[in-house]
Amino acid sequence: MILAALAAPLLVATLALGVRQNRTRPRALLVGAVLHALAVAAMLGRRPEPVLDGALALDAAGAVVLSTSSLLFLACAVYAQGYLRRRAERDNRLFVGGLLVLLSALTAVSLAQHLGVLWVAVELTTLATAPLIYFNRNAGSLEAAWKYLLLCSLGIALALLGTFFLALAGTGPGGPRSLLLADLAGAGRALKAPWVRGGFVFLLVGYGTKMGLAPLHAWKPDAYGEAPGLLGALLAGAVGASAFLTLARVQQVMHAAGEERFAGQALTALGLISLAVAAVYVAAQRDLKRMLAWSSVEHMGILALGLGLGGTAVAAAWLHVAGSGLTKGVLFLSAGNIHRAYGSKLTDQVRGAARRLPVSGPLFLLAFLSASGSPPFAPFLSEFAILAAAVAQGRPVVAALYLASLAAIFLGMGRTVMRVVLGDPAGAPERPFPDSALTAAPPLVLMALVTGLGLWVPGGVADLLRAAAALVTG
Amino acid sequence: MTSASWLDLAFVLVVLVDFYLLASSRLPAATRAVALQGAVLSAPPLLLAGGGHDPEHMLLLSAGALLVKAVLIPWLMFRAIRETAVRREVEPFVTPVTSMVLGAAGVAAAFALSRSLPLPSGGQHPFLVPTALGTVWVGLLLMVSRKEAVSQVLGFLVLENGVFLFGLLLSDVMPVMVEAGVLLDLLAAVFVMGIVMFDIQRELASLDTQKLQRLRD
Amino acid sequence: MLRALLQPLALLLAAPLLPGLVNRVKAAVAGRRGPPVWQLYADLWKLLHKGAVYSGTTSWIFRAGPMASLASAATAALLLPVGAFPAPISFAGDFLLFAGLLALGRFLTALAAMDTGSSFEGMGAAREVTFGSAAEPALLLGLAVLARATGSTSLQGMLGPGLSGAWAGAAPSLILAAVALGLLSLAENARIPVDDPSTHLELTMIHEVMVLDHSGPDLAFVQAGAALKLLLFGALLAQLVLAARPAGDLLGLVAFAGGLLAFVLLVGLVESAMARLRLQRVPQLLVGAAVLSLFALVLVLR
C-alpha cells in the first residue's frame, strides 16, 4: 500500500506527460489526487506493513501530515481544473507533472522513518516545486523561483550535514550505527551529546529554511507572492507541514538523547522571532499574496513554538498542522480567485470582493478569521492550547510575546482583508473571471472542514493527534 | 606511495581546488575545477575501502561520485554556460582577495580545530573531517559572495562535495539506496537549476542575480 | 672565513647567467635565436665603464640605493647552503634575517625611487611596496613551513640534509610551500605574470619604473642585484626540491646547478605561455601564494 501511494502519482505523471492536449492534461491531476486519497484512506484504515527495511512506514505523525496533504492536494486538483482552463494559453505539461511529483515526494516525507530517506524526499519537494513557481514566466516569478531554489538547496545541503552529524553521534560505543528513527530514539543517551547538538543546529537551520521560519524565511514572500494560488496553497499547507514533520522527527531524537531542553529553547526562540517578524511585516503589506506569505511565517512560528514548548503543546501543534494547513488552502485559493477577477493583487486596487465574488470574497474573510485564531475554527483550538501550555509551564514572557504577536497580526492583516473584501467594487479593475463551481467549491469544502474540526474533533482524530504527540515527546 | 599518502594528496587537492575557486572569476575554468574536485572525490572511497568499510559499497559510491560529480554535472553546467553565454563573474560582492582570506581562515580553523572534535570512532584519516568542513565553508562563501547564477550553483556543488566527504565517515550507516538518492537529488537539483537559469537568461538577457531585485517588502 | 667571502662572490658572478638563460628559453619557445647567454655580462661591463648622471633634486639616498640593495642581496647569499656545502653563516632564526635582507633591498630601492621626486618613480615604488606587503607574509609563511617540517630555524637546517626526513613525513606541505615559493619568485623578480621585464610600458611597470633614473655603474648594481635575487630564489627552490642530494661536494654542486637550470627553464616557459595579469589581479596571485603557504603551515602544525 505504501508503495502504491508513492508510485500512483508518479505513474499518472508519466501518463500526463504523454497527453497531447493542454485542455485535457489537467485531468491527470484529478486522477492522481483521487488515487492517492484512496490509498491514504486505506492506509489510515489499516496500518500498512513497513517497507524497505523499515525505512518507510506510517506512524501517527506521518498520518496527520499525509492526510492533510492528501486532502489539500485533492482540493487543489479540483481547483486546477478551473484554473488551468482559464490559463489555456500556457503549456501546463511541466505544471501538471511537477505537482504530481510533489505529491509523491510529500508522501515519501510523511512515511520516511530513515533520516537519509527523509532528506532525499524533502529535497525532492523543493525540486518539484521550483519550476512551478514561475508558471507565469515573468521577471518577478523567475526571481522568486531562483531565490527559492537556491536558498532551499543551501538549507537542505546543511541539513544533510546535520543528518551526518546525528549519524556520527550514534557511532560511538553502544550507538545504533543507523539513521532509522526508531534506532536513534532507542539509543537514547548512548548518542554523543556534542554531535547531537551540532547536528540539531544544522538540521534546524536546514529544515527551518524549508519551513520558512524567520530569519530563514527570505524566499517565502517572493515565492508565495509570485506562484499561482494553488501552488501557494500546497507550499504553505502541505510542504510547510512536511518541513514541520521533519523538525518533529529531529525533536523526537533530541528527546531520546535527553537534549530536549536545548532543542526546545532554540525552537521556541525561532518560533517567537517568526511571530514577531510576521507581525511587523504583515501590517505593511500591500500585496495580497505576500501578506499570506507572512501569515504563513506566523503559522510556522506557532508550530515551532508548540514543538519547542513540549508537553501538551505538541498535540496542539499537530492539530494546528491540520487546521492551519487547510485554512491556508482556503486563503490561497480564494486569494487566487480574487487575483484573477481583478487582474491585480495589490490592495489599493482590489476592493469589494464580497460583492463581485459572492463565494470567494466571504470565504477569504472567514479564512482570515480562522488563520488569525478566532473561534469557532480549528486554529483557535490549537493556538489557545499552545497559549495554555505556555502559561501552565510558567513561561509568562513567552505567553505574553505570543499573544502580543497574534494580536498585532490580527489587527494588521484585518485592516487589509477588510479593505479587500468589503466596500464597493465599482471602479476597481475588472477581468471576466467570476466565481465558477470548479474554482469556488474547493475552498468552500476546505472551509467547511476547518469549521467542522473547530467545532468537534472526532475521537479517532484526537487519538491520532495524541499518538503523534507521544511519538515526539516519548 | 601508501594509500594513506595518496589520501593525503587527494584531500590536499580538494582544498587547493577550493582556493582556486575562491580566486577565479572565469566560469568555464571554475566549472572544470569543480569537475576535477568531483573526480578527486571519487578516489577517497576506493582508498578507504580497505579499513573497515564494505568494499562493494565503496566501489559503488566511488563510481557514482565519478559519474555524477565529474561527468554529468559538469556537462550540465557547461551546457548552461554555453546556452546562456556567460563567461565570467564580473564583480562579486566580496573581492577575490577578501574571499580567499576568509576561505583560508575557515580552512585553517577547520584543520586546527578538527583534532579537538570528539570523533566517536577512531582510525579515520586525519585530513578527512577538516577537508570536508573546510570545503563546506568555502562552498557557503562562494554561494553568498557571488552574483552570477552559475557561480552560485558552483558554490552549491562545492558545498555538496564537502558534505559528501563528511559522509564517507558514515558509509556503513548510510544504505546504498540512500547514497544513490542523495547523488540523484544533486543531479536533479543541477538540472532544475539549469532550466531556471536558462529561463532567467531568456527573460532578462542576463544571469546577474543583482537584476533579480525587484521583489521587496 | 675564506668560504664566507667566496660563496657570495661566486653566486654574484654566476647570477647574470640566469636572466640570459631565461631569455634563451623564451627565444627558443618563440622560434628565435635570441641574445647570447652572456649578454648581461656585456651590459654590466659596459655600464660599469660609463659615468653616472644624477638629477639635481636627488640626495645621497639615491646614490646609496643601488649599492645597498646589491649588498643586502649578497649578504642574504651568505645564509643559503649551496649543494652539499653548508651555509657560510648559520644560526637559529636566520631565515628571518634572510627575509629581512630581501625586504631591506626592496625598501632601499623604493626609497631611492622616491628620492627622485618624480611622480613616475613614486608610482612604481607605491606598487612595489603594495605588492611587497602581500609577498612578504607569503615568504615568511613558506619558510615557516620548512622550519616546522624540519624542526630547525636556520636555513642550513631547513634546506640542508635535514630536509630529506621532512619530505618523508610532510610531503604535501612541502609541495604546497614549493608552489607558493615558486609563485613568489615570479612576483619578487618582476617576471611575467606579475611584471614584464622586457617592456617599458609605463602603465603596467613595477620594478623597471623604479630604476629608470639610475645610470652607469648604479644601473649595473641594480641589474646585478636583480639577477642575484633571481638566483637566490632559484637556489631556495632547488635546495628545497632536491632534498635527496647525492653526497660529495662536486656531485652536490652539479645537482644544484641542474636544479637552477630547471628553475630557469620553468620561468622561461611560464613567461612564454602566460600573459601578464592585470595590475588589480596581482595581489590576488600573491594572496593565493600566502594562502597556500598558510594551508601548508596548518598541515605541518597538526
Neighbours of chain A (3+ CB pairs under 8 A): B
Q: Compute CA B173 distance to the chain's CA centroid, rounded to the nearest angstrom.
A: 22
CB within 8 Å: B112 and C298: yes
Is-contact C182 C200, C-beta < 8 A?
Answer: no
> How far does B139 lie from chain A, in Å, by closest CA?
10
Which residues in chain A (207-236) have CB-CB distances under 8 A to chain B?
221-222, 225-226
Cis peptide preceding C193, ω within 30 of 0? yes
Residues in chain A with CB shorter than 8 Å from the CB of B162 are: 161
Q: Of the candidates B120, B152, B170, which has its C-beta nearest A172's C-beta? A: B120
Confidence of residue C183 (pLDDT cuts 50, 70, 90): very high
CA distance B163 to B183: 11
pLDDT for C192 equals 80
| Per-residue pLDDT tens digits of chain A, which is 474 residues long | 889 899 999 999 999 988 888 888 999 999 999 999 999 999 998 888 898 888 999 999 999 999 999 999 999 999 999 999 888 888 888 899 999 999 999 999 999 999 999 999 999 999 999 999 988 888 888 889 999 999 999 999 999 999 999 988 888 777 788 889 888 888 888 888 888 999 999 999 999 999 999 899 999 999 999 999 899 999 999 999 999 999 999 999 999 998 989 999 999 999 999 999 999 999 888 889 999 999 999 999 999 999 999 989 999 999 999 999 999 999 999 999 999 999 888 888 888 888 999 999 999 999 999 999 998 899 999 999 999 999 999 999 999 999 999 999 999 999 889 989 998 888 888 888 888 889 999 999 999 999 999 999 999 999 999 999 999 987
Chain B interface residues (partner C, CB cutoff 8 A): 5, 8-9, 12, 15-16, 19, 23, 96-97, 100-101, 103-104, 107-108, 111-112, 115, 126-127
pLDDT for C182 equals 93
**Helix B73-84 / helix B27-41 crossing angle, nearest 10 deg:** 170
**C108 Cβ contact partners less than 8 Å away, ≥ 6 residues apart:** C64, C65, C68, C69, C72
> How far does C285 lie from chain B, in Å, by closest CA?
8
- Bridge partners of B88, per DSSP, are B26
Closest CA to A49 of A109, A108, A5, A2: A2
pLDDT for B26 equals 86
Q: How many CA atoms lie within 13 A of C17 on its CB side?
A: 15
Q: Which residue of A has its CA nearest to B164?
A: A161
3-state helix, strand, coil in chain A (%, to 5): 75, 0, 20
**A151 Cβ contact partners less than 8 Å away, ≥ 6 residues apart:** A209, A216, A218, A219
Residues in chain A with CB shorter than 8 Å from the CB of B203 are: 137-139, 142
Is-contact C293 C172, C-beta < 8 A?
Answer: no
Is-contact A252 A474, C-beta < 8 A?
Answer: yes
Residues in chain B with CB shorter than 8 Å from the CB of C301 are: 112
> How far does A151 lie from chain B, in Å, by closest CA?
10
Q: How many CA atoms lie within 13 A of C40 on its CB side?
A: 24
Residues in chain C with CB shorter than 8 Å from the CB of B5 are: 171
Closest CA to A227 of A129, A299, A88: A129
Residue B141 backbone zone (phi > 0: left; psi -120 to 50: alpha; other: beta): alpha
The chain-wide mean pLDDT, for chain C, equals 89
> What Å distances lie between residue C219 and B16, C12, C36, C64, C128, CA to CA?
41, 15, 20, 12, 18
Q: What angle do CA C138, C143, C145 make, to 5 degrees?
A: 95
pLDDT for A1 equals 83
CB within 8 Å: C176 and B23: no
pLDDT for B85 equals 76
Q: Which residue of C has its CA nearest to B103?
A: C291
> How far does C302 lie from chain B, in Å, by closest CA?
7
Q: What is the pLDDT of residues C232-291, one digit of tens each?
A: 999 999 999 887 666 677 888 888 999 999 999 999 999 898 888 887 788 888 999 999
**A361 Cβ contact partners less than 8 Å away, ≥ 6 residues apart:** A334, A338, A352, A353, A354, A355, A421
Neighbours of chain C (3+ CB pairs under 8 A): B
CA distance A233 to A448: 16
Sign of CA dihedral A196, A201, A204, A206: negative
Residues in chain A with CB shorter than 8 Å from the CB of B204 are: 139, 142
Confidence of residue B117 (pLDDT cuts 50, 70, 90): confident
pLDDT for C276 equals 81
Q: What is the pLDDT of residues C115-167, one digit of tens each?
A: 998 888 888 899 899 999 989 999 999 999 999 999 999 998 898 888 888 88
pLDDT for B106 equals 93
- Across chain B, which distance is largest between two alpha carbons, in Å? 59
Q: Is A164 within 8 Å of chain B by CB? A: yes
CA distance B156 to C265: 40
CA distance B168 to B69: 15
Q: What is the pLDDT of residues B29-61, one digit of tens each?
A: 999 999 999 999 999 888 876 666 678 888 888
CB within 8 Å: B115 and C284: no
Residues in chain C with CB shorter than 8 Å from the CB of B100 are: 284, 287-288, 291
Closest CA to A449 of A347, A392, A370: A370
Global ipTM:
0.93
Identify the DSSP state of A257: T
Q: Of the candidates B143, B179, B181, which has its C-beta nearest A154's C-beta? A: B143
Q: How confident is the model over B160-174, as a mean pLDDT?
A: 87
Question: For the whole model, what pTM was predicted?
Answer: 0.90
pLDDT for C171 equals 83
CA distance A51 to A43: 13
Residues in chain B with CB shorter than 8 Å from the CB of C176 are: 12, 16
pLDDT for B124 equals 67
Residue B116 backbone zone (phi > 0: left; psi -120 to 50: alpha; other: beta): alpha
Residues in chain B with CB shorter than 8 Å from the CB of C298 are: 107-108, 111-112
Q: Of the candidates B120, B173, B188, which has its C-beta nearest A192's C-beta? A: B120
- Across chain C, which distance is largest between two alpha carbons, in Å? 59
User: To probe the interface with A, which of B53, B128, B173 has the most A CB atoms within 10 Å?
Assistant: B173
CA distance C150 to A287: 67
- In this structure, what C-alpha cell is assigned to residue A425? 467594487
CA distance A110 to A322: 14
Q: Is A285 within 8 Å of chain B by CB? A: yes
Q: Of the candidates A127, A138, A175, which has its C-beta nearest B189's C-beta? A: A127
Is-contact C110 C130, C-beta < 8 A?
Answer: no
Is-contact B25 B38, C-beta < 8 A?
Answer: no
Q: How confident is the model over B100-108, as a mean pLDDT?
A: 91
Q: Of the candidates C171, C291, C298, which has its C-beta nearest B19's C-beta? A: C291
Q: What is the distance between the terminal CA atoms of chain C, rounded to a whole angstrom? A: 40
Q: Do chains C and B touch (3 or more CB pairs under 8 A)?
A: yes
> What Å distances lie between residue A328 and A300, B31, C247, CA to CA?
12, 42, 82
B12-17: long-range contacts, CB 8 A cutoff, minimum separation 24: B12/B127, B12/C172, B12/C175, B12/C176, B12/C299, B13/B37, B13/B40, B14/B40, B14/B41, B14/B131, B14/B135, B14/B161, B14/B165, B15/B107, B15/B131, B15/B134, B15/B135, B15/C295, B16/C176, B16/C292
Within 10 angstroms of residue A160's Cβ, the number of other Cβ atoms is 28
pLDDT for C202 equals 62
The chain-wide mean pLDDT, for chain B, equals 85
User: To probe the interface with B, which of A136, A138, A160 has the most B CB atoms within 10 Å?
Assistant: A160
- Collapse the DSSP code of C45 into the 3-class scheme (helix H, G, I; strand E, B; otherwise coil) and give the result: helix
Residues in chain C with CB shorter than 8 Å from the CB of B15 are: 295
**A278 Cβ contact partners less than 8 Å away, ≥ 6 residues apart:** A214, A294, A295, A297, A298, A301, A405, A409
Within 10 angstroms of residue B151's Cβ, the number of other Cβ atoms is 25
Which residues in chain A (115-144) have CB-CB distances under 8 A to chain B?
116-117, 119-120, 123-124, 126-127, 130-131, 134, 137-140, 142-144
Within 10 angstroms of residue C278's Cβ, the number of other Cβ atoms is 10
Which residues in chain A (331-360) have CB-CB distances under 8 A to chain B?
none
- Collapse the DSSP code of A56 into the 3-class scheme (helix H, G, I; strand E, B; otherwise coil) and give the result: strand
pLDDT for B217 equals 66
User: To probe the interface with C, which of B22, B25, B97 has the most C CB atoms within 10 Å?
Assistant: B97
Q: Which residue of A has its CA nearest to B156?
A: A154
Q: Is C274 within 8 Å of chain B by CB? A: no
Within 10 angstroms of residue C55's Cβ, the number of other Cβ atoms is 11
> How far does C263 lie from chain B, in Å, by closest CA?
23
- In this structure, what C-alpha cell is assigned to residue C218? 648604479
Q: Which residue of C has its CA nearest to B10?
A: C172
**C179 Cβ contact partners less than 8 Å away, ≥ 6 residues apart:** C289, C292
Closest CA to A240 of A267, A214, A211: A211
Q: Is A91 within 8 Å of chain B by CB? A: no
Q: How confident is the model over B167-195, as a mean pLDDT?
A: 87
CA distance B128 to A129: 35
- Range name among A267-276, A443-452, B114-123, C34-43 with the lowest pLDDT average: B114-123
User: To probe the interface with B, which of A133, A164, A217 has the most B CB atoms within 10 Å?
Assistant: A164
Q: Is the pLDDT of residue B122 over 60?
A: no
Q: Is C294 within 8 Å of chain B by CB? A: yes
Identify the DSSP state of A48: P
Q: Of the candidates A149, A164, A175, which has its C-beta nearest B193's C-beta? A: A149
pLDDT for B176 equals 83
- In this structure, what C-alpha cell is assigned to residue B142? 562562494
CB within 8 Å: A116 and B140: no
Q: Is A194 within 8 Å of chain B by CB? A: yes
